[in-house]
Amino acid sequence: MAQARVSARINVMLLVFCVLIHYKIASATTYTVGDAAGWTFGIQSWPTGKQFHAGDILVFKYNKNVHNVIVTDENGFKACNTATGQKFISGNDQIKLKKGQNYFICSTPGHCAGGMKMAISAA
């Protein structure tokens, strides 16, 4: 009888754990970067006032003939160095945030230096 109670408790704990994991996955938020303006110049203040979490999705909408998105590191962000990082070119890119700092720039010459860059911290 005692073994059956222990087994039942373990089953309940596993069920609760599965529900919590499902909730965390289902609770990811999708944001359109820049709202109606999209991924463009002067985007740096767009994250202000928003709370981002690891797993949230950023949707970058832009004219793919003019812009792109590079996911880079802090050094690439500060120097507008496009040599490293993952490049997105669809014009409608969906990028999942990782925990910590996330850095995005446009690699079209002059765009990053002109303010087409953004840093987001995700909890």
pTM: 0.78
Residue 67 maps to a domain: yes
Number of folded domains in the chain?
1
**Domain coverage including residue 104:** 28-122
CB–CB of 116/106 below 8 Å?
yes
β-partners of residue 104 are: 71, 118
Residue 70 maps to a domain: yes
CATH number (domain holding residue 111): 2.60.40.420
Q: What is the pLDDT of residues 53-103, one digit of tens each?
A: 999 999 999 999 999 999 999 999 999 998 889 999 999 999 999 999 999
Specify the long-range contacts of residues 77-84, CB closer than 8 Å, at least 24 apart. 77/103, 77/104, 77/105, 77/117, 77/119, 80/105, 80/112, 80/113, 80/117, 82/107, 82/112
Residue 5 maps to a domain: no
